Amino acid sequence: MRFRATLPLLGLLAGVAPALAQEAEVIHWWTSEGESKAARVLADAFEASGGTWVDNAIAGASAARQASFTRIVAGDPPEASQFNSGREFEDLAAQGLLTDISAVAQEGNWDQTVPQALLASAQIDGKVFAMPMNIHGRNWIWFNAKLLEEVGAEVPAGWGEDMFVALDKLKSAGKVPLALSGTPSYELSLFESILLDIGGANLWYGLYQHQAPEAFASAELRQAFETYARLRDYVDVGSPGRTWNAATNMVITGEAGFTSLGDWAKAEFAAAGQTAGVDYGCILPDGVLQIGGDVFVFPKLSDDDAIKAQQLLIETLADNTTLRNFNAAKGSIPPRADVDMTGTDVCAEKGSAALQISDTNVPRLTMLQPSSVAGEIQDLISQFWNDPSLDIETAIARYTEIVLNG
């Protein structure tokens, strides 16, 4: 077991014998202002239950996941590690390195309260190895309500012509029309938002689940690429490498009119003291919510004290009150239908409504396709965004090849 008891040891050396705290180290990537406040909600709940939350926040999802993989495989695991919903932790489970929490899922009736696609992504060979913490809608459009009013722009329904009318008015007023996090993952996220707006759930499943030839040859897919390319003219030169929370802040401060992000952006608006429906607004293109979210996995441990701390952490994170408070702070939707979120904001209500109908929510790409395929798609979409010389016909041909041969 790793050595984390410096202060208690000093106390023993001084002749004092303090009680051993149930320490649980948690690796996560919630480092922005809003995310940190949400993580603190979990830490406070654990400490109120008698535990000690050892925070290991690592900036960037990829870096945090890699740190977890390295630690777990090396035999120095934390008590819990954050991952995204999907198959990211499949290899760890296959190696027998994760704790099976099927009993917790059964006790909590997850088969009745968690969306089927989300629960399936937490299971491997029928066993549950991940605890869903939230449902994030990934394809939202956010806007500064007062800025749109100031420039005389109507709120668009999605990525259609009414959006370009609003973008042009912002551009004429000297504002950044679309604040984009110019990183591959958010360039892909923007494309996915457009794809869902134009083609809806039918196109999404046709491409990524059924791999239907007519989906790849459709006018809707071509229109999605055309709309995506058209948006290049409305993004500022500072976009490349920009973080998602910096893009959100541009909308908060009125520097930009729109941004395309998941509903984790809401935590940043809330941290800035802004109110949904008043200071900022949200658009769910075509009313279809692309769902994903965050999960915790719990590595297998050998030390009895660490195992007890981990069990206490699992119980705390599975508690309905903990989930309500965390999701209220995070800007997300609870992963279980039995968590009461009465009194949430208008954007949460839109997202919750979309979850109630199967045709208005779809699982994220990595819940339908292997991570290797998703990675190739991300690389292609990023290349297409950043290299205008890559024509649409070539891009669609490569896109089709990646999915069909994956």
pLDDT digits (tens, 9 = 90+) for 292-330: 889 999 999 999 999 999 999 999 999 999 999 999 889
* 132 and 187 housed in the same domain: no
Do the beta carbons of residue 269 and residue 278 sit within 8 Å? Answer: no
Higher pLDDT, 342 or 399: 399
pLDDT at 159: 98
* 364 and 346 housed in the same domain: no
Q: How confident is the model at residue 18 (pLDDT cuts 50, 70, 90)?
A: very low
Stretch 72-88: mean pLDDT:
94
Q: How confident is the model at residue 262 (pLDDT cuts 50, 70, 90)?
A: very high
CATH code: domain of residue 210: 3.40.190.10
Check whether 17 has a pLDDT greater than 50. no
pLDDT digits (tens, 9 = 90+) for 147-170: 999 999 999 999 999 999 999 999
Query: What gap in Å lies between CA 253 and CA 235, rounded to an integer?
Result: 17
Check whether 15 has a pLDDT greater than 50. no
Query: What gap in Å lies between CA 77 and CA 25, rounded to an integer?
Result: 9
Tokens 């819940």: give the residue. Answer: 367
* 141 and 220 housed in the same domain: yes
What percent of the chain has pLDDT above 90?
A: 80
pLDDT digits (tens, 9 = 90+) for 53-74: 999 999 999 999 999 999 999 9
Sign of CA dihedral 166, 203, 193, 332: positive
Do the beta carbons of residue 101 and residue 298 sit within 8 Å? Answer: yes
How does DSSP assign 124-143, residue by residue? ETTEE--EE--BEE--EEEE
pLDDT at 25: 98
* 110 and 164 housed in the same domain: no
Check whether 271 has a pLDDT greater than 60. yes
Query: What gap in Å lies between CA 397 and CA 400, rounded to an integer?
Result: 5
How does DSSP assign 42-108, residue by residue? HHHHHHHTTEEEEEEE-SSHHHHHHHHHHHHHTT---SEEEEESSSTTHHHHHTT-B---HHHHHHT
Domains contained in the chain, number: 2
Check whether 103 has a pLDDT greater than 70. yes
pLDDT at 20: 54
* 399 and 298 housed in the same domain: no
Do the beta carbons of residue 35 and residue 58 sit within 8 Å? Answer: no
Stretch 14-41: mean pLDDT:
81
Query: What gap in Å lies between CA 23 and CA 375, rounded to an integer?
Result: 36
Check whether 43 has a pLDDT greater than 60. yes
Query: What gap in Å lies between CA 166 and CA 6, rounded to an integer?
Result: 58
Tokens 């290797």: give the residue. Answer: 372
Q: Is 220 exposed, middle or buried (0-12, 13-18, 19+ CB in 10 A)?
A: middle
| Per-residue exposure over 348-358, b if at least 16 CB sit within 10 Å of its own CB, e if not | bebbbebbeee
Q: Residue count of the chain, please give it.
A: 406
Check whether 104 has a pLDDT greater than 60. yes
Check whether 77 has a pLDDT greater than 70. yes
Do the beta carbons of residue 86 and residue 366 sit within 8 Å? Answer: yes
* 256 and 175 housed in the same domain: yes
* 231 and 93 housed in the same domain: no
Domain range spanning residue 77? Answer: 2-136+292-355
* 226 and 364 housed in the same domain: yes
* 312 and 392 housed in the same domain: no
Query: What gap in Å lies between CA 128 and CA 320, rounded to an integer?
Result: 19
Q: What share of residues in the chain are helix, strand, coil (percent, to 5)?
A: 50, 15, 30
* 166 φ/ψ angles, rounded to the nearest 5 degrees: -65, -40
User: Nearest CA to 288 among 363, 217, 228, 340?
Assistant: 363
Which residue(s) pair with 258 in the sheet? 143, 178
User: Nearest CA to 395 among 260, 226, 200?
Assistant: 226
* 17 and 79 housed in the same domain: yes
* Mean pLDDT, rounded, of the chain: 92
pLDDT at 296: 98
pLDDT at 7: 35
* 49 and 73 housed in the same domain: yes
CA gyration radius for the chain?
22
What percent of the chain has pLDDT above 70?
A: 95
| Least reliable range by pLDDT among 10-24, 238-252, 294-308, 364-378 | 10-24
* 327 and 339 housed in the same domain: yes
pLDDT digits (tens, 9 = 90+) for 343-358: 778 888 888 888 877 7
Stretch 7-11: mean pLDDT:
37
